[in-house]
Amino acid sequence: MGLQTAPVLFLFPPTVGPHAAASPEPIRYDFTNGAQAAEQVHSWVARHLPDRPHPPIKRPINWVRWISTLTVLSGSLTASYVAWPYLLPVIQNRTVWAAITLISILLFTSGHMFNQIRQVPYITGDGKGGISYFASGFQNQNGLETQIVAAIYGILALSGISLAIKVPRISNPRTQGIAIIAWSGVLFIVYSALLTIFRGKNPGYPFSLPPFM
């Protein structure tokens, strides 16, 4: 039958009657792209047998799928019931939700979604054989640049939280004063570095702070 591959489906049209075909040669359906769904083959048969009954598609019950689904579902429910007393305190913990919220804010404000949409490179060359961590212009950025900016935002957030929440709880006045100076210094220096990065990306950015000018 001139077969070069297998399997092959042949549809032999009728040679007599009202639906007789002009040619008795069978119509060939090759499974060149691998296994085909029954709906695809059914559509092909229906297309070549217009206005005539077609064999219906009747799938057997997939017992393995049903049993696997029920087993996984019952196992998940059992595990959830057993672990619920241990998971509930974690879910209701304000610190956990605050950490998740803060990390999400740092990721999105530093440009994580921009990187995912634009598929930006992690680092780029500076044209002199070196590495450029920051891309020029506010419409361009590197993957590592996002991580650096997120880390800077994280340090600034930690400084602000410490000054607002942790430092007022220190009972020793001397220790409290040192903590205020230390965290204020970290806040000032890191924010100065952030402004320097902005000025490097766009020389027209008008703001700067010492020690990074």
Residue 182 has what pLDDT? 94
- In angstroms, the CA 190 to CA 212 distance is 9
Range of the structural domain that residue 109 is part of:
93-201
**How confident is the model at residue 106, as a pLDDT?**
83
Buried b / exposed e along 87-104 (16+ C-beta atoms within 10 A): eeeeeeeeeeeeeeeeee
Distance of CA 29 to the CA centre of its chain: 39
Say if 190 falls within a structural domain: yes
Taken in order 88, 89, 92, 97, the sign of the CA dihedral is: negative
Structural domain contains residue 183: yes
In a domain, 166, yes or no: yes
Q: Is the residue at 210 inside a domain?
A: no
Specify the DSSP class assigned to residue 152. H
Task: Give domain status of residue 136, yes or no.
Answer: yes
- Give the per-residue pLDDT at 213: 66
The pLDDT tens digits of the residues spanning 98-126 come to: 889 988 888 888 888 888 888 888 888 87
Does 206 map to a domain? no
Q: What is the pLDDT of residue 73?
A: 95
Q: At what angle do helices 143-161 and 94-109 cross, to 10 degrees?
A: 140
Contacts of 90 (CB under 8 A, 6+ apart): 96
Tally of domains in the chain: 1
How far the first Cα of the chain sits from its last, in Å, is 83
Long-range contacts of 19-26 (CB under 8 A, 24+ apart): 19/52
211 domain residue, yes or no: no
Spans in the chain with pLDDT lower than 50: none
Q: Do the domain assignments include residue 66?
A: no
Q: What is the enclosing helix (H) or strand (E) of 92?
A: none
Residues 53-83: tens digit of each pLDDT: 877 888 889 999 999 999 999 999 999 999 9
pLDDT score recorded for residue 189 = 92
Q: 55 near 44, Cβ under 8 Å?
A: no
